[in-house]
Chains A and B, each alone.
Chain A
Amino acid sequence: MTEQPHFDVIVIGGGPAGVAAAVQADAKRLSVLLIDEQERAGGQVYRWNGVGIDAGPGAEMRARLAASGVRTAFSHRCWHVQPDRTVRCTGPDGNMTFTADALILATGASERVTPVPGWTTPGVVGLAAATILLKSEGVLPGRNVVVAGCGPLLLFVAAKIIAGGGQVAAIVDRNGPSDWLSCLPAAMTNPKLGMEGAGWALSLLKRGTPIHFNSRIVAVNGDDEVQAVSVAAVGENASSSAHSIACDALCYGDGLMPATEMTRLLHADHDFDAALGGWHVRADAHRRTSLDRIYACGDGAGVMGAAAAPVQGRIAALAAAWDLGKMDEARFEAETQRLSRYGQRVSRFGAAMTGLTVAGVRVPLTGSEMICRCESVSHDELERAVAAGAVTVNAVKAATRCGMGPCGGRYCVPSVAKIIAAHEQVDVSRIAPGTARPPLRPVPVGTLMGDFAYEDIPFREPAPL
């Protein structure tokens, strides 16, 4: 039913970290399989847009990968991984099982969106999701857009909307000018990206785009489409100080969260660090997780951005090569030390950018908003469940169905943690994320099954009468 090809190394995730890991492992003469759910390498940051000339860092990455001996399985979704490094995924040929001596996880990040009343109204788009719309689809989220939340994507999305011929009604930033100024030194460590950011800021200034610093969205208004957003100052009572801004779309996000579902399914050790996006898998200086010959790199192991990711990926591959006995010690030490020094330098920029999203990690919830979109569970219902004694993420999930839908709790669990933390009067970092369950992504029963006959099903004797 399933073939089980074996590799020295399997890399899961074809973004900058995963591709760098795969190419580096290949250069060390290891047999490598790279698995990704997209059609091409690039991840979210260098997403292949499928049209026109492939250019820029994404194209360079894809060319390096193509020139290597790495075997690739694109359009494959991993639905299960095991600590013994057995990986199962579904692709165009159905269910596939692969095994490896080393497993490098480069699963990236997902977007943090803080629920507010009305955030499920059509026309509300995540900030990171908006970058995909703008970059790979060339679509504007609206004609007159409010861009809100925190972090560098505010500038990027606003500038791209204007460049695409749209109007930015306002930028609503949880941070203030001093927060931005404090990351200037780090920004200058990457002059190219720093200048790019300054260029975006200038283009907004020139257009006179209103910027509301130290402010937050408290509600989205409109029934079938966004008509306006209510904005209030951070820390002030929403009902007394809110004012309304008319718009037809809202791009809204509070930075990125490491994707931990795979490492949680593996029961690897995790830590909470707001400066890295919240919960992330623990990895040492050589990207080793707490599990034998399983490594983590890129934003999935703590959000540090696209410059740090390939360095981490290469270190992970070197560690795998060393752990598999394919490198001598002197070489391993020299190469990883050189990479680590380089990594520290290029990580400062990404770390500063993630730092701008820390403001979004502990933002209090408003009170009456929908928290779980999949199962329609409101804040009020969750508070009632917590007050009735469900004080773990798993217990709240059982009591309310929050997190039981197709997204697997990726989006609602941080809010559930905030509600529990508020009730228990502890910091959110004390509230463990719930148990991860397979499949890692929803998968059609028929795809998993393939062809089979009733007679092939391995029945046991019936239970005692």
Chain B
Amino acid sequence: MTAHFDLIVIGGGIMGCASAIRAAQHGMRVAMIERASIGGGASGVNAGTLSLQIKRVKLMPYALAGHRIWEEAGEQVGFAKTGGLTLAFTDVEAEQLRERMTAKREAGAPIHFLSQAEVREKAPNLCERVKLASWCAEDGYANSSLTGTYYRAALREAGVTIIEGADAPLLARAKGGFQARIADEEVHGTRILLACGAGLEPAMAMFGVHIPVRVRVNSVSVTERAPRLVDPVIGHVTGLLTLKQKGNGTVLIGGGWQGRIDERTGASEVDPETIIPNLQLAQFVLPALARLRVVRCWTGFEVNVADFYPLAGPLPGVEGAYVLGCVRGGYTIGPYIGRLMGDLIAGREPEMPLFDPARLLAAAVQ
């Protein structure tokens, strides 16, 4: 059986979904092909931190726009604007914090520095050794586990055809466009968007485009419910801690400590040797954590290319094919950059520039 679409999107994460929905809104007939379930990969298992303080300077305008989209989604995605603190505990760290946050403020994030008294007022239970703290009132979090529910409904509303549980589709050029073969089914599209995260490198390779994509496995832990301990989202100057107490009282702890990939299954796994320092840093920052029980640790992942900027634009040398991914801070920025991508594919001019993947081919040749 063959079905025909204007656009096939490979990958049902935030970026693929946002692109698919935008393209459908522009009148395209879109099929979404997802390996497992919508929003079930990196988009659905990350720590959900929406912090401008951990975004790259050059991506700040995209992050600001992303924040606004999550805020509009509101309760459906568990959005909360709590404000965020980033902490430094030594003189060296304080110097780093000053330099980094000043650059981010200049890029448009409303960040300022707090006195120790102000820190205590905003978060009285934090460790008393804070040397310097920065504050951003726009920071907060959303509940990443609701990503799938939210986007599945939005895809349905936009009229996108959803094909879930389609592991390892075979992608190829076909007459008048592209085809994706899944078991005995064939989906045909005039255009194709690759937005499959950790699967991007092999997907691009099916079209003869070779761009190395590195996968990072990020660990996240969550405690049982507890009485209110801290309101703002908390970060560390190194970026090695994100900590937030959710509305239900659980404390969610992340920070990009690396898990590992199980060679046999290909699944990403928690590495207890990195979970422990992650939790140590969390407990140092919020000593009351010592009493709480950890109920679950898991891993999400992020992918990046050599220059740590997004892959977002036409797939080099393949007319009608596009690629989107490798966005640092993809949970925050994804909904916005996906819209831009949907505009580009539908032949509209995106309001902000995208990030042409061709730059990486040129670099590879050099």
Contact = CB atoms under 8 A, between A and B. Distances in A.
Contacts of A443: 293-294
Interface string A265-301: 0010000000000000000000000000000000000
B103 A465 contact: yes
A335 B62 CA distance: 69
Contacts of A390: 37, 148-149, 152
Contact of B295 (A83, A88, A391, A406): A406
A465 B89 CA distance: 20
Contact of A449 (B57, B100, B129, B280): B280
A448 interface: yes
A399 interface: yes
A394 interface: yes
B355 interface: no
B284 A267 contact: no
Contact of A438 (B37, B40, B267, B272): B272
B296 A457 contact: no
A445 B252 CA distance: 12
B283 A449 contact: yes
Given A83-B262, A437-B298, A445-B282, A88 B40 contact: no
Contacts of B38: 389
B296 A408 contact: yes
Interface in A419-465: 435, 437-439, 442-446, 448-449, 452, 454, 456-465
Among A80, A398, A435, the one with the most B-chain Cβ atoms within 10 Å of its Cβ is A398
Is the contact region of chain A dominated by helix, strand, or loop, or is it mixed?
Answer: loop
Contacts of A1: 276
A453 B194 CA distance: 45
Is the contact region of chain B dominated by helix, strand, or loop, or is it mixed?
Answer: mixed
Contact of B291 (A446, A448, A465): A446
A445 B328 contact: no
Nearest to B287: A446
Among A458, A461, A462, the one with the most B-chain Cβ atoms within 10 Å of its Cβ is A462
Contacts of A438: 270, 272, 275, 296-297
Contacts of B224: 405-406, 442
A310 to B, nearest CB: 31
B107 to A, nearest CB: 10
Contacts of B100: 462, 465
B283 A88 contact: no
B160 interface: no
B280 A398 contact: no
Interface string A389-419: 1111011011101001110100000000000
A438 B164 CA distance: 27
B77 to A, nearest CB: 12
A37 to B, nearest CB: 15
B149 A445 contact: no
Contacts of B145: 397-399, 401
Given A80-B272, A404-B296, A408-B295, A452 B262 contact: no
Interface string B312-339: 0000000000000000100000000000
A267 B292 CA distance: 28
Contacts of B146: 398-399
Contacts of B289: 445-446
A445 B223 contact: yes
Contacts of A397: 145
B149 A449 contact: no
Interface string B226-246: 000000000001111000000
Contacts of B164: 389, 391
A437 B296 CA distance: 6
A32 B276 CA distance: 27
A388 interface: yes
Given A267-B264, A389-B38, A452 B280 contact: yes
Given A267-B264, A388-B149, A448-B279, A439 B290 contact: no
Contacts of A458: 277
Given A398-B148, A445-B279, A448-B294, A388 B37 contact: no
B311 to A, nearest CB: 16
Given A80-B272, A267-B267, A457 B37 contact: no
A457 B284 contact: yes
Nearest to A403: B296
B153 interface: yes
B265 A462 contact: no
A215 B222 CA distance: 42
A365 interface: no
A454 B89 contact: yes
B162 A389 contact: yes
A405 B89 contact: no
A445 B37 contact: no
Given A267-B262, A398-B148, A437 B297 contact: yes
A391 B36 CA distance: 11
B96 interface: yes
Contact of B290 (A398, A405, A408, A444): A444
A211 interface: no
A398 B36 CA distance: 13
Interface in A252-271: 267
A408 B267 CA distance: 20
A246 interface: no
B44 interface: yes
B98 interface: no
Interface in B86-110: 89, 96, 100, 103
Contact of B264 (A83, A405, A448): A83
Interface in B133-178: 145-149, 152-153, 156, 162, 164
Among B44, B240, B280, B297, the one with the most A-chain Cβ atoms within 10 Å of its Cβ is B280
A377 interface: no
Interface of A: 1, 80, 83, 88, 95, 97, 267, 385, 388-392, 394-395, 397-399, 401, 404-406, 408, 435, 437-439, 442-446, 448-449, 452, 454, 456-465
13 contacts: A391-B37, A395-B148, A398-B44, A399-B146, A406-B295, A438-B296, A439-B294, A442-B293, A444-B292, A449-B283, A454-B129, A462-B238, A463-B256
The 5 closest A-B pairs by CB, nearest first: A446-B290, A442-B293, A398-B145, A399-B149, A395-B37
Interface of B: 36-40, 44, 54, 56-57, 89, 96, 100, 103, 129, 145-149, 152-153, 156, 162, 164, 222-224, 237-240, 256, 262, 264-265, 267, 270, 272, 275-277, 279-284, 289-298, 308, 328
Given A406-B295, A439-B296, 6 more contacts: A83-B264, A394-B40, A395-B37, A442-B294, A448-B294, A462-B238
